[in-house]
Amino acid sequence: MMTERPHVLFVTVDQWPANLLGCAGHPVIETPTLDQLARSGTRFERCYAETPICIPSRRSIMTGQTARGHGDRDFQPGLQMPHGIPTLADSFSRGGYQTFATGKLHVYPPRNRIGFNDAMLAEEGRGHLGGPDDYEMFLADSGHPGAQFLHGMSNNEYGWTTWHLPDHMHVTNWTTMTAARQIKRRDPTRPALWHVSYTHPHPPLVPLANYFNRYARREMPAPVVGDWSKDEEQMPYLLKASRNYYARLPQWQIDDTRRAFYALCTHIDHQLRLLIGTLREEGILDDSVIVFTSDHGDMLGDHGLFGKRLMYDASARVPLIIVDAKKQARIPANKTNDRLVGLHDLMPTMLDLAGLPIPESVEGLSVLDSNERDHIYGESHLHTRASRMIRDHQHKLIWYPAGNRFQLFDLKNDPLETRDLAGDPSRASVVNRLKDLLYEHLYGEDMALTDGKTFVGLEAPDVTIPDNRGLSGQRGFHYPEVPAIDPNKPVGSW
C-alpha cells in the first residue's frame, strides 16, 4: 500500500571517515552497496561533523542544532537532550510518521526514546548508565548472558581480534535483523522513519573472521605523514598528548588494525543489502528516501594519530549519501556535490524531502535549499583539549588554544593536509581572514582565551604519559548487570 509521503531509511554508522568508500576513490576498501547507492543518488563530499565526538554529533543530528545550540561540545554522557527542542523523531511523529530506532542512540537516560515510537538499543555495553539493553538481552536469550565483551578488546583502543560468538550474534547482524523486522511490522497505511544506527566500525575492533580474512593479504595504504607531523616536539600540545594516550604501534600492527576496521565497514555494507532487499520485497523501495552518514571519522594512524575529536578531515569529515524516492527525485542520481554540509543539516534535509515543516529551532540548512554557506565552523572539547576550526571552500584554519597554535591547510591542493601553511608569509592574508571569521564564532569559555580583539590562548601544560590502567574503558563480564556509576563521568577517554 502506497502512502502520500515517502518512507525514510536513515542509516548512521560510528567512526567511519569520508574517504573509506570505493566510490570516493579509496584503493582498498570494498563498499559495493554504498557505491551503488551513490550511483542512485548524490554523494556529498564536504560533509563535516562540526563536533567530531559521538554524543555532540548525535545531538546535532537529532536536533538540527550546532553544539552551541544543543549545549555539548565536550562529551557529556549524563546530559539530557535539550528541553522543549523538537527532535528529528518528534518532527516526523507529529507529521503522521511511525518512527522506529534500532541500534545506538547514545542519549541519557539510555531508554529515552527522544520522540521515536519505539527504540531497540545496542549501546556498546553502557549498562552503568541504565538499561536494559536490547542487544544484551538478545545475547542472554541466546544462551550467552554477559558475553558481549569476552573477546577482550577495548571500546577505545586499536587492538583487534575476530568475533568470539556465532556470526549471527554479531551486533551488526542483530541491528540489521531487528531493523528489517521493524520494516516488515510497519503500519502499511502510514509512512515510516526508520533510524538504523550501527555501532561499528567504532572499536572494539572485532570483525567476523571471514571479513577480516578477505583483507588479510591485501597491502594497506601507508599512513599519511605531513611536514608538520614528522617532528613530534614541534607539534601543538593537544596532538602530542593525543599521541601519548594511544599505544605506539609498529607499522605491521597498524596495517592489521586497518584490516580489522575495513572488515567492519564491509560487513555493514553487505548487511545494508538486506535492508534494501526488505524494502524492495515489501514493495516500498521506490517510495523510500535513503540517507547514509557517520557521526565522525577516525585518524587510523595518519600523522601518528588515532581516534576522533580532531579537526583533520580523517576525523571530522564524514560520508553522506542521499537517495531520493523515485516519485519525487529532488536529489539527482549519480552525482557528487561539493557544498559545505554539517550534521545539523540532516534533520532539515530529511524533513524537507518528506514534505514536513522544519521547526524554528533548527539551525541547519536543507541540502535542497538554494542558499549555501561559504564556511563551516567546528569545535571540540574545552581548555587544554580544545581545538577550533574554520573551513571555507579552499582552506582550513585550526586553532589550538593550549599554546595558542594555528595550522592552515590548502585543501584544494593538499587534501591530505600534509603541508601546514600557517607560517607562510604568502598566506598571511588568508590566515588573518580566517582568524577574523573564527573569532566571530567564539562563545562561552572561549572568550576568556582572547583579549577582546584577538587570540591569546592559554599556557600549554607539560606533556605526560597518562595512567591508563583502565585500558581506555575496557568492558568486563556483563552478567550480573554492571553497577551504576555517576553518569557525568566519561569512560574511556583521556
Query: Taking the domains of the chain in order of start, what are their residue ranges?
Result: 7-374
Amino acid at 306: F
Mean pLDDT for the stretch of residues 387-409: 98
pTM of the model: 0.98
Distance CA 459, CA 403 (A): 5
Query: Which percentage of the chain shows pLDDT scores above 70?
Result: 99
Mean pLDDT for the stretch of residues 417-425: 98
| Residues whose CB is less than 8 angstroms from the CB of residue 9 and which lie 6 or more positions away in sequence, other chains included | 194, 196, 275, 279, 288, 289, 290, 291
Fold for domain 7-374? Answer: Alkaline Phosphatase, subunit A (3.40.720)
* pLDDT attached to residue 360: 98
pLDDT in tens, 344-397: 999 999 999 999 999 999 999 999 999 999 999 999 999 999 999 999 999 999
* pLDDT attached to residue 2: 54
pLDDT in tens, 61-117: 999 999 999 999 999 999 999 999 999 999 999 999 999 999 999 999 999 999 999
SS3 per-residue string spanning 443-483: CHHHHHHECCCCECCECCCCCCCCCCCCCCCCCCCCCCCCC
pLDDT in tens, 229-241: 999 999 999 999 9
Query: Which percentage of the chain shows pLDDT scores above 90?
Result: 97
Distance CA 43, CA 339 (A): 11
Alpha carbon 474 to chain centroid, angstroms: 21
Least confident of 16-20, 191-195, 486-490: 486-490
Q: Is the peptide bond before 236 cis (omega within 30 degrees of 0)?
A: no
